[in-house]
Amino acid sequence: MGPAAEKPSPPYNLRYVWLISVVVAMGGLLFGYDWVVIGGAKPFFEPFFNLTRESVRGWANSCALLGCLAGAAPGRPVALGASLR
């Protein structure tokens, strides 16, 4: 028998793949948490703003979720800038 065959290394950095996966999973978790917080605030802001029709209630919830996205959007250039250093 010859020398032990070396295990071929994968063509990608496994640590980097895990890091990206964890960051993406945390982003999904936090966005889901925002969704739950908005749902929990719904019984309080509906009477305050006198939202009586279902379509208006849905619109208000959608606007709050879009606000979560808009609030997270400025983080992209910051993250890209930090990653290029």
Residue pLDDT, tens place only, 10-33: 788 889 889 989 988 988 888 888
Q: Across the chain, how many H-helices and E-strands are there?
A: 3, 0
CA distance 83 to 19: 13
Looking at residue 79, its pLDDT comes to 77
Q: Which pTM does this prediction carry?
A: 0.56
- So where are the chain's domains? 28-83
Question: Do the beta carbons of residue 34 and residue 68 sit within 8 Å?
Answer: yes
Select from 6, 23, 3, 4 the least CA-distant residue to 15: 23
